[in-house]
Amino acid sequence: MSSNTPESELGRRGHSVIGLVLAAIVCAGGTALLALLFYGSTRVSNFDARLTSRFLAAPDSRLERMADFGARLAEPLPLLVICLGLVVLAILWKRPWHLLAAGGVLIGANLTTQVMKLLMAHPRLQGALGVSYPIEIHYPSGHTTAALTAGFGLWLIAPPRFRFRAGIAGAAYGLVVTAGVMISGWHFISDVLGAAMVVGFWGCLAMAALTQAGKED
């Protein structure tokens, strides 16, 4: 029997869906584990602060201003412009199902992060980050979540022939914002990692849905 029979194609698709769902579960578990470690263990949270402090820019330096600019690229107005651009590209590329999946990731991941931030806001002494008083830093990072979902959305809606370049552009945008929130002292590394796994969870579910529907390419 040919390897391209409907039965073999359904089997391949089923295995891909299972793998993606398992990856989503791993991301969800990792998000919860990070919260337990960095909020529940003084030793780990201190390590988190020490490691994050290595990336901080000097106050009022050119690097800090650049990092602050990079972090703000994921604020509502620029993010809205980017999302409108994704809609236009998806229409031009005739990728309605991929646009729907990207929208689901964007809404689901950012809503998840905002709910978690409300539930898990915790005053941590930011002495290692150059601040001498307790401030609220929220887990996970909302700016990182926004940037990564937008970058993933660009990759997702791009046709196969443009996927590599779209992936590079999306990754660069996410890296600029992620580096910005850490270098400018907005977030701990744990907050950034947590955001990445939130996006990973929703991204894997979106890919699983597209694969199940036969729309993954």
pLDDT tens digits in sequence order for the chain, 217 residues long:
445 566 676 677 788 999 999 999 999 999 999 999 888 888 888 888 889 888 988 888 999 999 999 999 999 999 999 999 999 999 999 999 999 999 999 999 999 999 999 887 766 545 555 544 344 568 899 999 999 999 999 999 999 999 999 999 999 999 999 999 999 988 889 999 999 999 999 999 999 999 998 887 7
34: containing domain: 6-212
82 inside domain: yes
Q: Where are the alpha helices (DSSP H) in the chain?
A: 6-40, 42-53, 62-71, 76-92, 96-120, 142-157, 163-183, 189-212
217 inside domain: no
pLDDT at 18: 94
pLDDT at 68: 94
Give CA–CA dist 37/42, Å, rounded: 9
Q: How many domains does the chain have?
A: 1
174 inside domain: yes
1 inside domain: no
> pTM for the complete prediction?
0.90
47 inside domain: yes
Residue 115 burial (CB count, 10 A): 10
